[in-house]
Structure 1
């Protein structure tokens, strides 16, 4: 990067996350249970005293040199630029910035690499004197993703990467964003495996599912679809009824999963994960055959539970495994699915 020698470098590192359970309910009034993972993104920023932002990365193809007020261009650097534009509105920065992004988070894996980049950029430029909490940054990051990027996501990903710590799960009530960090039991191993199937939220499928959930809530007459009475789904068309069934049942599963985690009941938690995957496959219609087989084999080989994680359509699975069988289990799963890669 080319910046004045007296410019101060600011850096921030933010982890990725996996959602253990509670999928597609963060905008429906549900409780979600994401866990921070060790793979992270680091953003280094220096003021360049120009009217352009210059953004680069060793992991993402194509550096970008663009005016500070330019709109999004469907480029990976939009996640950085949206955060920089927000920071200028807050008067945290003024001129253009030289930004370099280093990321160990697989793209398109459903591990919130986009939220991590936005939150890391905001953390890097947040003034030390500003009374801005990490929760405030999470809400800002959600707004950036909704308005600048154009993805109508909920608040889970941003809260998870802004507040989460590896080895803990974030029990987050998405209605009021109250939360509790829960330690993962030593007798549990959480495995995140990338299927090798890429996915993207910008292709319209995420928005379609989200709109279906909101329309189902509107037709039923409830603010939060998680609150809906299953007996009232008969008046919905087949697609809306299926989405509502998933949301209602997933809301209950996630609350039961928090209880199971506190009780260190690995068998119960694993069973809830399996039920969650089946619902995501059949009612939410966000899984794909390759993921379904990977989940089935993970359970067949001894995992207590496994499920697709993230918005779906590819990406990663998350599995709950007894540490005593972990090495043998992974070896056998890898033999059945040679293209998978362990993320955590």
Structure 2
């Protein structure tokens, strides 16, 4: 919850890892994100400057921007888009000074951008009557779509706005209903950065999304998750690969929720690994370095491992037994010194 003192409004919003259900949040699928201990800590207060001043500890930078300035491909865009949205809604008025401290690595696939937007919106809505997490999440999605220019789904925004520590959030992206499921005590999901950074604004995310939309249109379905594998043979080869991933990933996500509820460690791990192989071969969003790291992760005893987030670099997540987590992580970093344990 945001807090306020002497006109300074503060919010802490976590990053997230998606355990399974990749590239299906805009295709009508079920996704399973989990909040992380890394977070955005943000504070906001009104100023008399007639402009927004944004301060980042992570980038060691201070920027001054006009109240209606467009996005500029700058780290501050996520804050400025949220402030402009909040002013348009009447939540705040005039220039604002925003200070950000973050322990979420940039370009890691852990939703630093969504967390920044959600944190800004939470501080901006502090003086309003209760604003539901879903309302904040939908606003954050609109900002990414319309201001930043990334046509993302709703996964990241709901995960960071509504997620609970120690639980995975089963989110039906079609109905936007969600339910938390506790992670078994003897399970540990470890998130590690591969050493390969990526940005979604470089066009590759947009291209993959457009291919999914084209596949759904060609198959005559509103959501690609509703298509059947038997129907994709007539598609262009590239569209068929995207459709195959989406259809099979939707099934894996449903199975994963059941496995989590049943505490079926082995099945959940296998589903994660199958998801990675599909992201590698059909969605084509993995990279050779992460493919190798996933192979090593499994060889060291992980029940499952996969690239997480939209791909093209960033983080991977592995499922290990809690009692083996520290030993496994040490062995992983010894094999790949550039890999960094995040959570």
- Name the TM-score, length of structure 1 as normaliser: 0.97
Q: Deviations over 1:66-107 (max 9, x none)?
A: 110111111100100000001101111111001100101000
Matched, 1:41 2:60: no
Relative to structure 1, the CA distance from residue 219 to residue 61 in structure 2 (aligned partners, 3 Å threshold; closer, same or farther) is farther
Between the two proteins, the alignment pairs up a number of residues equal to 339
* Pairing of 1:171-186 with structure 2 (within 5 A): 171-186=170-185
Q: SS at the partner of 2:115? A: helix
Deviations 1:34-63 (A, max 9, x none): 000010001111100232000011102532
Distance 2:65 2:91 in 1: 19
Provide the secondary structure at the position in 1 that maps to 2:14. Answer: strand
Q: In the alignment, what sits opposite 1:151?
A: 150
1:254 Cα shift?
0.2
> 1:215 & 1:178 partners in 2: Cα distance?
26
1:37–1:165 Cα contact (<8 Å) kept = no
Between the aligned partners of 2:259 and 2:96, the Cα distance in structure 1 is 46
- The answer to whether residue 141 in structure 2 is matched with residue 142 in structure 1 is yes
SS in 2 for 1:63: strand
* Counterpart position of 2:271: 272
Match of 1:80 in 2: 79
Q: What stretches of structure 2 of length at least 5 have no aligned partner?
A: none
For residues 1-344 of structure 1, what are the structure 2 equivalents within 5 Å?
Answer: 8-344=7-343
Conserved? CA contact 1:7–1:48, under 8 Å: no
Segments ≥4 residues shifted beyond 3 Å: none
Local SS of the residue matching 1:22 = coil
Unaligned segments of structure 1, at least 5 residues: 1-5
Supply the distance in 2 between the matched residues of 1:87 and 1:343 (Cα, whole angstroms). 32
Contact 1:44 1:101 in 2 (8 A): yes
Deviations 1:193-218 (A, max 9, x none): 00110011011000000000000000
- How far is 1:7 from its partner? 6.3
- The C-alpha deviation readout for 1:282-315, integer Å capped at 9, x for no partner, is 0000000000011110011100000000000000
1:208-258, Cα deviation, whole Å (9 max, x unpaired) = 000000000000000010010111111111100000000000000000000
Following the alignment from structure 1 to structure 2, what is the Cα–Cα distance between the partners of residues 89 and 128? 15
**RMSD across aligned C-alpha pairs, in angstroms?**
1.1
Q: Could you state the TM-score of these two structures normalised by the residue count of structure 2?
A: 0.97
Counterpart CA distance in 2 for 1:132 and 1:30 is 26
After TM superposition, give the deviation of residue 323 of structure 1 in Å: 1.8
Q: Tell me by how many angstroms 1:326 deviates.
A: 1.9
Q: Distance in 2 between matches of 1:75 and 1:63?
A: 12
Deviation at 1:127, TM superposition (A): 3.3
